[in-house]
Amino acid sequence: MAARAFRRLRPALGPWVRPGLGRGLDPCAPPSPPAARCSHSRGKERLETPSANKLTDIGIRRIFSSEHDIFRESVRKFFQEEVVPYHAEWEKAGEVSRELWEKAGKVGLLGVNIAEHHGGIGGDLYSTAIIWEEQAYSNCSGPGFSLHSDIVMPYITNYGSEEQIKHFIPQMVSGKCIGAIAMTEPGAGSDLQGIKTNAKKDGSDWILNGSKVFISNGWLCDVVIVVAVTNREARSLAHGISLFLVENGMKGFIKGKKLQKMGLKAQDTSELFFEDIRLPASALLGEENRGFYYLMQELPQERLLIAELGISGSEFMFEETRNYVKERNVFGKKVAHIQTVQHKLAELKTQICVTRAFVDSCLQLHEKKRLDSTTASMAKYWTSELQNRIAYDCVQLHGGWGYIWDYPVAKAYVDARAQPIYGGTNEIMKELIARKIVYDK
C-alpha cells in the first residue's frame, strides 16, 4: 500500500500500530513494489486457509503481506467498533447513517484502490479486497462501501473527464458524496439491452426520462450513474447506450420508497425516477453511445467483488457454526462430537478452502489486469451458489436457534440469497461461461 494510504489510516490504527511492521508506516519511505506486496511477507511463509486455526485469521494467505495485516487489523477494528454495535438500528431504519460514511472517509476506507493522482488513497487491489472481506466477517451488510468505492468510482476515473474526476472523487473518498449506479429497470434486469430509460438531445443538453429499481445506495446517493438509451436507431441497442452522472437535487430526479427486502435490511435499496431531467453536456460520462462497452469492461470487477463477499461470508458462517457445535450439548455430549456433524464440517471446510484458492487466484489475475469476463463469471456463479449451500447447512447445524434472527447465521442466511441474483443472475453467468466453451470466437 502506498505511503499516503498509511498516513490516512494512522488515526484508525491506534494501538494496532507497532513500529517496524512494514515500510508503509514510515511516511517518508517509498511504497513497496507490487511484486513485494504479492509475495510472502518478508520471506516468512504464510499459512493458507486449510492450515490456519480459523478461516478468518489475520496473517494468512500468501497474496498478502505484513503491511496488509496491519491494514486488516485496522479495518476489523473499525467494523467492530463503528458498525457492529449500530447495525441492528440501521436494519430497522433501512439505511446506515451518513455519519458512518464520513467516519469511513476520515480513516481512509473509501476509494482505497483509486489512484492518488485522481484523489484516491492509492492502495493496491489486495487492500481493497481486505475491506470486502472484513465487512463480510463482521456480518454487517448495510454499508455500501464496496459498491461506492469499487464499482461507481472506477467508472468515473476510467471514463470521466478531468473536471468530473476533480468534482466527484475527492468528495466520494471523504464520504461526503455517496455514489450509486442505476442499471436495472422494472422490465430489464440482467438483459441490459431491454433498457427503456432514455436521454434525448436538446441543443447541447440532454433530457433524461425513465425509472430504475433495486438500486443499492439509491436512497442515500448524492450522485448516480444512470444507464440510458441515446440512440434507438443503432444497429443494436448495445451501440446506443450512454452513461450519465445525475446528482441529487436535480429537478425531476425523484427517489422512490426504500424497498423492504428479505435480507440486506440495513442496505438502502430504492426505486429512482427521472422525469424530464435537463442534464448539461458535462453530465455525459465518457463518450456518447459507448456506455455498453464501459459496462462490459467494468463488470468483471463487480463480479469478483460478489465472489469475494460470497467466499468471505462462507468463511464467517463456518466459524460461527464451528463455535456453536463445540459449545452446544445434546444427548449428553457436544454436538461437535457427533460423527455426522464432524463429516458435514469436513465437507464444508473443504468446499470453502477449494473455493478460496480459486478466488485468491482471481484476485491475483485482476491485480495484473488479466481477469477476463468468463473467469469472473465463474467466480461469481460458483461462490454465490456455495455461499447459499453453506448458509443452508450452517442454519441446519444450529437447529432451531439458526432460525432466530438474533443468531448471526440467520441474518447471513437471508443476506446470502441476493448473491446469485444481482450482478447478473447465475443463469446469465452460465450463459457467458458456455459461450466461451461452444463458440469458436
Axis-axis angle for helices 125-138, 339-367 (nearest 10): 150
Looking at the chain, how many residues does it have? 441
Please provide the DSSP assignment of 375-411 as one string.
Answer: HHHHHHHHHHHHHHHHHHHHHHHHGGGGGSTTSHHHH
One-letter amino acid at 101 equals: W
Helices (H), 268-420: 291-327, 339-367, 373-398, 408-416
Burial label, 317 (beta-carbon count in 10 A; 0-12, 13-18, 19+): buried
302 is catalytic: yes
**DSSP symbols for 75-106:** HHHHIIIIIGGGHHHHHHHTS--HHHHHHHHH
CA angle 182, 184, 187 (to 5 degrees): 140
Catalytic residue, from 302, 308, 315, 367: name it.
302
| Residues forming beta bridges with residue 198, ordered by sequence position | 209, 229
Place of cell 446506515: 96
Q: What stretches of 162-313 adopt beta strand conformation (E)?
A: 179-182, 198-202, 205-216, 223-229, 241-247, 253-258, 269-279, 284-285
Cell numbers given for 63 = 497474496
Cβ neighbourhood burial of 265 (10 Å; 0-12, 13-18, 19+): buried
Distance CA 339, CA 351 (A): 18
Provide the sign of the torsion angle of the four alpha carbons 121, 123, 125, 127, taken in this order: negative
**Any bridge partners for residue 440, and if so which?**
none
187 DSSP assignment: T
Q: In this structure, are residues 197 and 209 in contact, taking their beta carbons and an 8 Å threshold? A: yes
Integer Cα distance of 26 and 173 in angstroms: 22
| Cβ density class 123-158: b for 16+ within 10 Å, e for less | bbbbbbbbbbbbbbbbbbbbbbbbbbbbbbbbbbbe
Catalytic center residues: 302
